[in-house]
Structure 1
Amino acid sequence: MARIRFISADGSQEAIAESKPGDRLLDVAQAHGMPLEGTCEGAMACSTCHVYL
């Protein structure tokens, strides 16, 4: 289990989520109300979502 902290680009939204190995970050973020479109359906082709580690 991993705990993930999502913060919107403008800092107006924040969510803490639990995820399992193999979960797609886009799906976890959307399930927790983060405003990500996911035009490419998580195929990492459209660059509408970005991850900073």
Structure 2
Amino acid sequence: MSGAPGVGKTTLAKIVAAHYAALEYELVEISENVGGCLSDVERQLQSIIRL
């Protein structure tokens, strides 16, 4: 998500996070080194697909 300061990016992210937390999803904050996080997500998806 991107946009000018003050348009509500953080507020929207907090609302979405709260919604999914209420549904008992495990939330993971990614604020730096997105490349490394994406590799982790890809590995997890591959293990799910193999099930």
TM-score by length of 2: 0.24
Calculate the TM-score normalised by the size of structure 1.
0.24
Whose Rg is larger? 2
Relative to its length, the structure with more helix (as a share) is 2
Normalized per residue, which structure has more strand? 1
Of structures 1 and 2, the one scoring higher in RCO (CA 8 A, sep 6+) is: 1
